[in-house]
Amino acid sequence: MNDIFLNPANVKEFIKTAEREDEVIVVRCVRKTKASKPGGPDVGDLYDLHCTRKPADYVPTGTRGDRSAEDAGSGVLTVFASNRRDSRGRLGDWRRVNIDAVKKVIYKGREIEVVAHQ
């Protein structure tokens, strides 16, 4: 089997493809800031986000609306992570992925490394 590599420029589209296909994609990132909860990942640690399509019954609670322009300017992507808890303790919450900090994606059982050049 040939190795497949992604670069930061196409990671975002890969995540969006998984969302459109209603698949889970695991995004392994380098933590940029300290975790808010004790025992969580520290700056520089790797951590996984299990990104998926937002729930059909999702109702926005804030007034910020669409963040795509803000995301593009910051080099991040807002995703729905099924392995994170929201403020009420329920599984599933919004997270921002720093596209340049993604090291690997795992999609349909295949691990794909992210490299600057290939």
Q: Does the pLDDT value for residue 102 go beyond 90?
A: yes
Residue pair 77/92 in contact by the 8 Å Cβ criterion: no
Q: Does the pLDDT value for residue 1 go beyond 60?
A: no
Residue pair 42/34 in contact by the 8 Å Cβ criterion: yes
What is the pTM for the complete model shown? Answer: 0.81
Q: What is the pLDDT of residues 50-83, one digit of tens each?
A: 999 988 887 766 666 667 788 888 888 999 999 9
- State the average pLDDT for the chain: 84
Return the HEC string of 26-80.
EEEEECCCCCCCCCCCCCCCEEEEEEECCCCCCCCCCCCCCCHHHHHHHCEEEEE
Q: What is the pLDDT of residues 46-55, one digit of tens each?
A: 999 999 998 8
